[in-house]
Structure 1
Amino acid sequence: MVLRKCEICDRKFKKTEHYKRHERSHTKERPYECTVCHKKFSRSDVLSRHAKGHIQNANGPTNINNAAKNTTAATTTTPPITAADGIGSITAATPMIPDASDLAASLQIPADPNHVQEEQRRMSLVNIHTSTANHQDNDAQHHFINRTSGGPGPANARASVPVFPPTPRDVQITPPGGLSSNLDFLADISAHQPRTEPEINAMMMDEQNPAYFGWGDVSALETVEQQQQAQRPITFDPMPNEMLQLWLEPRADSVSHHSSSIDFMRNMNFIGENFISPGRRDSRSMDSNKAIDDIPNERFTRVERSWVAPANLVGRLINNLWQDVSCYESDNLFSIPPWQSMSPSTGNYPGSRFGLDEECRSQLQHAFGLSPASIGSINSATPNDALSPTASTAGSGSIPTFPPAEILDMALDLYFRHFHPLVPFVHLPTFCAKKTKTPLLFVMCQIGMLILGTKGTTSFVSKTFTCSLERISSELSKCAIGNETSTGVISTFAAALLTLNLAAMTGEKLHIQQSQMLYINLMSIAQRHGLFTAGEGQSVDMSLFEAVPDLEMRWKAWSRVESTKRLIVGLLLLDSWFSSFLSTSPIITPDSVQIVLPCHESLFQANSSSRWMQHIRGGKRIITSMVKSPNETTALPVLDVPVDEFCMHALLAMLQLRLSGAYHRILFKRPNYPFAPCHTYAMDGQARCLTSLQVQVMNTYNESLSRMNPNCIVMWHHMCMDLTADIQIFELAAGRNGAGPARKALDDITAWTQTPAARRACLHAAQIFKAISNRRASDDTMFHSVHALFSAALILGLYIYMVPRSAETQAGATSIELLDDIDWQQVGTEGFTSFMEPHGSPSSRTMDDQTVNFIRHGGTIYVRGVPHQGGYQSARRILLDYGGLLKDTGKWSVRKFSYVLHIMSDVLMDVD
């Protein structure tokens, strides 16, 4: 079939008649003229329907009565009809009306010669039906009812039969020989059948029968209005015919020309199983298998392409997660399948540790190359960032030059050296850059380039962040609708997790704002997939690995399962610190959290299957327990000794989620802030366990926390600070929302400084400073530690600034060195409780411990042997010390945090 293209609007048509009709809609040509009233029309079928109005007027009431009587006579002589005879024999004796045919011939309607007989028969049938509908004598209808009911039809029985208006069931529907199908014939009948229902479904209108609604032309509308005023109370104002044709033009993607006919058939219940003879019904059931085999595969393919809702390939991820990842084809969880991998390279780049060569660089460049429009918008937002290593020209619209393979390989190495230990979910022994999925690998390189910190790499990351964010968001949308495999979903979650960390590392406010939806979507989709409710899925047990006989394959299957468990912990950590940093309620529901703990780090770092087996024989377990989020009824889990740092992070993240959720449920934006949040939590049924859980953590894991990376103990101190001080007040006092709220917040802090909770908060703030100051060179700092250090600076600095001098000389006051070691097990719940709780009064028990006495009675504060009394000068020294430490924390861009502290201390030199 040759496609014809409109030269004006470029629309394409398969049929010549459609193309000609559309062409006339542009040229406004009207070649068809009515010989009666001399109106002109652009389409022959519109002229035909217009002519039928003249035919009906020419027949008159007398002709209509005669036609009805002739029809009655014809049906009287028709032999009885059975259902087995089929529908086609019902109207075999239908006569033609000479008046109608003669008038139609005299009109000289120009039309296709192949359709002349068809148009004449259609007009005849319309006249028969119209005369029957408007004739008050219902002989034909009464006789038809008696014939279909099987009983005799005497003339005197007419009075006992109720007179009904004609319906589609009463019409003789066998198509004459000229009609193409029953559907065409029924469509013509429905176009002129009197309607009893007032509602019209405009979406089911047939493009070939616009007169179905009386919209075809004005004269036809007036005729219908005169004859059917009672049944058609709604009229339309006359409109130009060209305008009607424009509105009634069929859509380009329209498939069916008989939608109204199909709707008409659906409403008629006389075509169905009841009209099929038993013999035909049996033969059809016998041929059902053959009918299925006869359906071509191409039809199913077309249906698949046309289906609106995308196919859900995964379902709920947790249902078969562990089985899917353990049986994945690739060695590494984040690698592409072998059949999708690139062609073997001629050799890795010299000195490359992970196989990032020129071929891999080309693939990254192809996937993440920026367009001039996007880079122009980014450069216009940051006009001072035109840097020579990242720009081919000096213009603001230049596309950044993609880094060479050497820089990318160096950045990837820095990622694994400095960032990977913080969130270790990638299995290094099986990792290969050339096989890793492109979005994940690119974000890894971006993080490494930020850690590298050169002028060129920093500018490149800034300019490509939006492109990377859009790509990851697009990939995540596939996970939302299930249009991705299980391992593909996990890989996308990993890329999104690193992208959000990248946004925090850049320190740009715009990047953090742009990544808000990615954070919300990532956590929501992960929670919907059940990643944080491990108890609802299959168990992680030895059956996953025992079925693998080969040791090498078993080790790789275990590594993929372990990578998934560690990624889930990384998502928990992300929600805990992101919600705390953004002052929003966490997305994960704390009460429902249930995860499988990661195995010991030594197992995950084993560089071969034999080394992995040695650790197992040494007592390390490859199957760990499933733990629930601790609460008032669920105790802290018993962790293997020595406690793995990542397991401790998982436990603290669950507590942080519970604490953040309680704060935003109970305290956020209350008109009157409490002196200490822990006092309010103690009166809430769900949150009253928060203080006791923090004490239990220190009593249970004190020894492990003291030897771990300082990020763990900093996270614990931060949660204790949140229990004893409302950080929102301190951010307002620092000037987050301007001068007015700041002065009100400072008044609240003045009252807060008189409480034991405030003095305990100062101790935790000082211990955060100590832990980060004493970290080793190999101890990398997590983002939540940087945020905790900033919050500690606000709490301790504003406490010293606002505390009255009289508090240092009250009865029982003592001096204390804030950076000395503190026995938190000895301190217990001191400062957490209030006089409203049992044993909450300061004098309820005696204690010789200096720290406990300071919490109870206050006193002079010393930092490195220097006394800090209340006032601006002491507070200024505290803020400068914390600001300097923030600048030394490394990879995280803390320029803004440090800048705020320097503003508060009025020292702005060397901070930009």
Structure 2
Amino acid sequence: MFDGQPDLSFATWSPTNSNAAPWLLANDFDVFAVDETLNTAISEWAQLPMQPPVGPSIHNAPLTPQTASASALESSENVSMNAIPTPPSKKRSARALDAVAKTWYTQLRSDEVSRSTSRAVSEAPREQFGVDEQYRDKLTRKMKSRPVGDSLPSVNFLNVCLKAYVSRFHPIFPVIHIPTFRPTSQNAFLLLSMCSIGSLFVGSESVRSQGIEIFWRLNKVILATWDKHLAQGKAEALSMVQAALLGQTFAMLSGKPEDLFQADMFHGTMLAWARKVHIFKQVHPPVPTPAMDEGARQDLWHQWLRFEQCNRFALALSIHDSELASLYHHEPLSRESIVSRGRPLANDSLFSASDVSTCLQALQEQAAAFDASYMSLTSWMAKEPGSRNNITDCIADSAFTAYGVLSSLNASIIEARHSLTLSDSKIELLSKGLISWYQVCEQNGIFNKPDNFNMQVLWHAAFIVLHVDIGALEAAIGRDGHRAAEGSAMEVRKWLSSSSAVRCLLHGLLLQEQVESMRFGSEPALHVPRALYTAALVWLVCSQFSVPGQVRMPNMAALPFAEIQLVKGASQQRLREFGVSPGSDLAALSTGITYGLIDLLQRAGRWGIAESLANTLTAALEAHVD
């Protein structure tokens, strides 16, 4: 099966009918062949001798669910906000602020780095310029990668992880066409990348550890062999970059600073690889006609599947771009959403089609969208709501596209801030774009359907990012140590006296409500931990830097915030739940709300990044002393 061609008799599969899933690995799947491929690639790259096979994997034992850890904080729904007064900021320990910097979610903390540094410092200065044999031997040992001694887990293990990927992760990041996915020698890296992410959803720490090991091995192999795969046919090249995309996603969500930095570091490489395989220059195939014979219909279907997977790959890159720019506070690399490149994206029914007839029928129904006028994201933001164009049509047709466009709007905000072009007129334009996006979704009933992408969470977070410099808030609570914190404190206190502060605090409450209303058992989208962190950050700053009476709740009817008026009903209900009325001192509620948001962040899914962000906020809270 492994070396054979894909089976194109697409049986219907669903999570309740998992035994019939045609993309699972069969008993004759040659795990050792894949394992040998990985070891060979790593050995050639590191110039190491081949490691002998270690025999069958021992991971055939029943998988035991991971014991859920009890929350360290009381549930956010049970915290009495008025019972926790917030004292004004009097003193912040310099040592505690420096400790915050060391525990920051982006701070690299490697014992090996410190050991290497100490060794380098302790070495006696050399009297001669040059290399002797002893130094050469040290270099040789240093250049060698550690040997790979473990084989891949069993077929049973890989299938469990693959099922978890399809049922838990694919709905929130649909970039692979599952109905046509078949394990082959050409897509082995993609399969392993899917398994590594799937391991996060099994509920076993041992399975998770194996998934992390697969991720690291696969990462080394892709870096060692990318040129060979890009030189192969279109299918293998696309499969390789898809595997790398999922690897980037794994790195972003793992919660380890070194993984997150690696994702940021290789994001530019991903864009270069995407250009190399012409991801951004795909020409959409023709619309099917009734006169086509069966062979032509099959060929057209496969053209469309490749075209759509390329589109979704590009859209996923723009989502990564927005998230990495948000986490690291730097300029995004891709300037426009994929929908601005002159190519319509298929609607959701097309990408979920499992046979030729369903797919081609969906194409014919969407044919009119191919004639829509095209415009850039910036031009779309300036248009009056209601005009028909490619972006409006794509948002209406595809929830994943709506998610990608919203991520691109978030990236546009970050780009404007870092390019020093975030003027009042620019803020107004970006606000208009976010409001137009919301109205298109509302008019097309997108918010009335299950939202796998938690888009309203991202929408509220984007408004917070628009109206405050998150980097400045982070610096004020200790990201860069106590000296930078003291230097940013004045700017933060000034911001708290502005209407923008009230605006951001309100969006934080509404964002919290959106997360709390998620269906039990659903998985949060990629941005949810970062969005919750953003909301908690503005309330944390309010608790540490505001004085009693400085930040008061105005009358809702008099609020000049157009986007808050758009969700006025939800806003008023949320404020009543927190006991907030016109004139309420928001500073008096801030500590309790901050704790509630951190608690929610700790419970928001299984991503390691959520725990890392929560630890950063907790450290910042503990640095605040009377």
Q: TM-score, normalised by structure 1?
A: 0.49
Instruction: Please list, as runs of the form range in 1=range in 2, the aligned pairs for 1:762-911 lying within 5 A after superposition.
Output: 762-777=505-520, 779-807=522-550, 814=554, 827-828=561-562, 864-865=578-579, 869=585, 874-893=589-608, 894-906=610-622
Map Cα deviations across residues 230-250 of structure 1 (whole Å, 9 max, x no partner): xxxxxxxxxxxxxxxxxxxxx
Contact kept? 1:548, 1:554, Cα under 8 Å: no
My pick for the range that moved more, 603-612 or 742-751, is: 603-612
Map Cα deviations across residues 251-280 of structure 1 (whole Å, 9 max, x no partner): xxxxxxxxxxxxxxxxxxxxxxxxxxxxxx
Give 2:158's match in structure 1, choosing from 408, 422, 426: 408
Amino acid at match of 1:706: F
2:407 paired residue number:
653
2:218 paired residue number:
468
Query: How far 1:441 sits from its partner (Å)?
Result: 1.0
- Give, in whole Å, the separation in 1 of the partners of 2:569 and 2:592: 24
1:361 aligns with 2:31: yes
1:438 aligns with 2:183: no
Query: How far 1:896 sits from its partner (Å)?
Result: 0.9
Amino acid at match of 2:392: V
Contact kept? 1:659, 1:690, Cα under 8 Å: yes
1:751 aligns with 2:501: no
1:503 paired residue number:
251
- Give, in whole Å, the separation in 2 of the partners of 1:472 and 1:725: 39
- Give, in whole Å, the separation in 2 of the partners of 1:735 and 1:895: 18
Amino acid at match of 2:517: N
1:59 paired residue number:
none
Amino acid at match of 1:511: D
Query: How far 1:613 sits from its partner (Å)?
Result: 5.3
- Give, in whole Å, the separation in 2 of the partners of 1:515 and 1:862: 41
1:588 paired residue number:
334
- Give, in whole Å, the separation in 2 of the partners of 1:544 and 1:823: 57
The 3-state SS of whatever aligns with 1:631 is helix
Contact kept? 1:598, 1:647, Cα under 8 Å: yes
Pair 1:517–1:546, CA change in 2 (3 A):
farther
1:605 paired residue number:
352
Map Cα deviations across residues 271-319 of structure 1 (whole Å, 9 max, x no partner): xxxxxxxxxxxxxxxxxxxxxxxxxxxxxxxxxxxxxxxxxxxxxxxxx
- Give, in whole Å, the separation in 1 of the partners of 2:242 and 2:201: 19
Map Cα deviations across residues 635-694 of structure 1 (whole Å, 9 max, x no partner): 473326854211202222332332222222117xxxxxxxxxxxx42366xx76323222
2:234 paired residue number:
486
Map Cα deviations across residues 683-738 of structure 1 (whole Å, 9 max, x no partner): 66xx7632322232233333445335152112222221111111001111221111
Give 1:422's match in structure 2, choosing from 153, 172, 184: 172
Contact kept? 1:426, 1:563, Cα under 8 Å: yes
- Give, in whole Å, the separation in 2 of the partners of 1:897 and 1:870: 24
Amino acid at match of 1:354: W
Instruction: Please list, as runs of the form range in 1=range in 2, the aligned pairs for 1:53-452 lying within 5 A after superposition.
Output: 338=5, 354-358=23-27, 359-369=29-39, 399-434=149-184, 437-452=187-202
Query: How far 1:790 sits from its partner (Å)?
Result: 0.6
Query: How far 1:412 sits from its partner (Å)?
Result: 0.5
Pair 1:497–1:397, CA change in 2 (3 A):
closer
Pair 1:705–1:793, CA change in 2 (3 A):
farther
Pair 1:775–1:354, CA change in 2 (3 A):
same
2:393 paired residue number:
639
Contact kept? 1:523, 1:575, Cα under 8 Å: no
Structure 1 gaps, min length 5: 1-334, 342-348, 383-395, 668-679, 817-821, 832-846, 854-859
Query: How far 1:337 sits from its partner (Å)?
Result: 8.3
Query: How far 1:457 sits from its partner (Å)?
Result: 2.1
When Rg is computed on C-alpha atoms for both structures, the one with the higher figure is: 1
Aligned-residue Cα RMSD (Å) equals 4.3
- Give, in whole Å, the separation in 1 of the partners of 2:500 and 2:307: 44
- Give, in whole Å, the separation in 2 of the partners of 1:547 and 1:517: 47
Contact kept? 2:475, 2:488, Cα under 8 Å: yes
Contact kept? 1:579, 1:586, Cα under 8 Å: yes
Q: TM-score, normalised by structure 2?
A: 0.69
Pair 1:641–1:665, CA change in 2 (3 A):
closer
Query: How far 1:866 sits from its partner (Å)?
Result: 7.0
Pair 1:450–1:765, CA change in 2 (3 A):
same
Pair 1:524–1:764, CA change in 2 (3 A):
farther
The 3-state SS of whatever aligns with 1:432 is coil
Pair 1:566–1:595, CA change in 2 (3 A):
farther
- Give, in whole Å, the separation in 1 of the partners of 2:111 and 2:548: 52
- Give, in whole Å, the separation in 1 of the partners of 2:20 and 2:279: 38
Contact kept? 2:6, 2:184, Cα under 8 Å: no
- Give, in whole Å, the separation in 2 of the partners of 1:432 and 1:362: 18
Query: How far 1:787 sits from its partner (Å)?
Result: 0.8
Amino acid at match of 2:193: V
Structure with higher helix content: 2
Pair 1:630–1:808, CA change in 2 (3 A):
closer
Amino acid at match of 2:464: M
Paired residue total: 501
1:514 paired residue number:
262
Query: How far 1:400 sits from its partner (Å)?
Result: 3.6
- Give, in whole Å, the separation in 2 of the partners of 1:852 and 1:653: 23
2:310 paired residue number:
564
Give 1:761's match in structure 2, choosing from 500, 504, 527: 504
1:630 aligns with 2:377: yes
Amino acid at match of 1:690: L
- Give, in whole Å, the separation in 1 of the partners of 2:571 and 2:468: 18
2:458 paired residue number:
715
- Give, in whole Å, the separation in 2 of the partners of 1:511 and 1:726: 25
Query: How far 1:794 sits from its partner (Å)?
Result: 0.1
Contact kept? 1:711, 1:781, Cα under 8 Å: yes
The 3-state SS of whatever aligns with 1:736 is coil
Query: How far 1:751 sits from its partner (Å)?
Result: 0.9
- Give, in whole Å, the separation in 1 of the partners of 2:242 and 2:592: 41
Map Cα deviations across residues 502-532 of structure 1 (whole Å, 9 max, x no partner): 1122211122233444211111342466644
1:697 paired residue number:
437
1:706 paired residue number:
447
Contact kept? 2:238, 2:277, Cα under 8 Å: no
Contact kept? 2:396, 2:440, Cα under 8 Å: no
Map Cα deviations across residues 152-187 of structure 1 (whole Å, 9 max, x no partner): xxxxxxxxxxxxxxxxxxxxxxxxxxxxxxxxxxxx
Give 2:423's match in structure 1, choosing from 668, 673, 681: 681
- Give, in whole Å, the separation in 1 of the partners of 2:218 and 2:147: 18
Query: How far 1:861 sits from its partner (Å)?
Result: 6.9
2:484 paired residue number:
741
- Give, in whole Å, the separation in 2 of the partners of 1:642 and 1:777: 27
